[in-house]
Structure 1
Amino acid sequence: MQMKQESFQALQQYTAQVESLYNSLRSFKHDYSNILLTLYEYIDTRDMDGLASYFTRNILPLTKQLDPQNAHITRLSNLNIVELKSMVTAKIIYAQEMGIDVSVEINQPLNRVNMDIIDLVRILGIFLDNAIEAALETDIPKMSFVIIQEDKETVFFMTNSFIDHHLQISELSRAGTSSKGSRRGIGLYNVAQIISHYDNLFLDTHTQGDTFMQVLHIYA
């Protein structure tokens, strides 16, 4: 019942953000023809300097009316697994509210995965929680959530900005290993335990500069 309630609340948030973006687009579309007419006199008189100045001063700021954060949320529309969509939506909205620059990409509709959905929700929930916490330690917090579907596999690709605390990647899945102090570090240990029960999962964890990456492969 608690999971259903949390899923319902997350989907309500998702719907509200999609509706907000739709209203922004509708408002912009309503003004679009009038905006174009304001350019006519500059073009008709070949006043390119005036056109450039007018565009920079008056037209370019209008793009800020379309909230890029909401635009990323709409890309979750391709995630058609309700339990997973609810959890990811809640995490993404929370990350945005905390000031993290979030990017979302899902290349095509995802209707099923070749593993227990609760196990997948647990794994990705841990990854997203860790990504949010690590990103918030950095000066310019960023994270991304990407799903790529291919013929024989589904790939979940998550990245975040992080501060390198010089922990060995190979040690992160051990219980108690954490950069966050004592009595922490159980999350990635739980991930390792879940993955150990599957023979069609492969997790690639690595870093590149100031970016931490978790890439989960699920084979068909």
Structure 2
Amino acid sequence: MQYKNKNDSDKFLLELRDFRHNALNIMHGINGYIELEDWEGLKKYFYEMLESIKPIDTSLSTIEKIENSLLKRLLSAKFKAAVNIGIDFKLITDLIILPENDLISDIDLFQVIGLSLDKAIDAASEANIKKVSIYFLRSGDSTTIIIENTFKEKPNMPIIDGVSSTLSKYPGILYNTFVQHQVFVQELQIIK
């Protein structure tokens, strides 16, 4: 594993230490059930831990594959914010890097993604089932970014404030919002 700077390696060491502490805490919990010979409690504890770990591992490993450091940091921050308030956050991508394009500046693109994720996380935090998913997909010369979230009350905003004003500078970029299967969907399509 290669680190770009000291901060990356320090961050990795902190995350490794946190992982070790979490693993030890889990082991202490398992030990308690074994000492009490509470096999049903141990089984329940094990499956609860297994379920809580699955979504985190998948999305974190996907974020690590993204080579654009700004996008990686943005997604990591949003992931942590969502998970900290109990939201199941999924990232699905077939892109390792966000393709360079002349249609929208990186700053504006990251602002749109950030605002869209903020709104998605806010809405999902109030829902009974708390989920946010973001997809980065490429098809030919087109890159599509889809953000989906659950919600408590049906959103009445056709376009999110801040996103529409930023995207108004880029007539070649398609942005659409809709509700499908009780999920609010934001779709951004960048076509070369």
TM-score computed with the length of structure 1 as normaliser: 0.63
1:67 aligns with 2:61: no
Runs of 4+ in 1 over 6 A off after TM superposition: 11-14
Aligned-pair identity (%): 22
TM-score computed with the length of structure 2 as normaliser: 0.71
Please tell me the residue identity of whatever aligns with 1:149: R
1:120 aligns with 2:106: no
Q: For residue 62 of structure 1, report the CA deviation from its aligned partner.
A: 11
Superposition map of 1:47-126 within 5 A: 61=47, 64=50, 67-68=53-54, 69-114=56-101, 115-126=104-115
Q: CA separation in 2, counterparts of 1:101 and 1:205?
A: 21
**1:141 equivalent in structure 2:** 130
**1:52 equivalent in structure 2:** none
CA offsets per residue over residues 72-127 of structure 1, 9 Å max, x none? 11101232211121111100111011100111111131243322110011001100
Q: For residue 215 of structure 1, report the CA deviation from its aligned partner.
A: 0.8
**1:193 equivalent in structure 2:** 165
Q: For residue 190 of structure 1, report the CA deviation from its aligned partner.
A: 1.9
**2:27 equivalent in structure 1:** none
Alpha-carbon distance change, 164 to 121 in structure 1, aligned in 2, over 3 angstroms: same
| RMSD over aligned Cα atoms | 3.6
Q: CA separation in 2, counterparts of 1:13 and 1:133?
A: 31
Q: For residue 128 of structure 1, report the CA deviation from its aligned partner.
A: 0.5
Q: For residue 166 of structure 1, report the CA deviation from its aligned partner.
A: 6.0
Gaps of 5+ in 1: 1-7, 24-56, 174-187
Superposition map of 1:12-31 within 5 A: 15=12, 19=16
Q: Which has the larger radius of gyration?
A: 1
Contact (CA 8 Å) 1:113, 1:218: kept in 2 or not? no
Contact (CA 8 Å) 1:84, 1:117: kept in 2 or not? no
Alpha-carbon distance change, 18 to 219 in structure 1, aligned in 2, over 3 angstroms: farther
Contact (CA 8 Å) 1:205, 1:214: kept in 2 or not? yes
**For 1:189, what is the secondary structure of its paired residue?**
coil
Alpha-carbon distance change, 125 to 96 in structure 1, aligned in 2, over 3 angstroms: same
Q: CA separation in 2, counterparts of 1:152 and 1:85?
A: 22
Please tell me the residue identity of whatever aligns with 2:116: F
Q: CA separation in 2, counterparts of 1:108 and 1:126?
A: 21
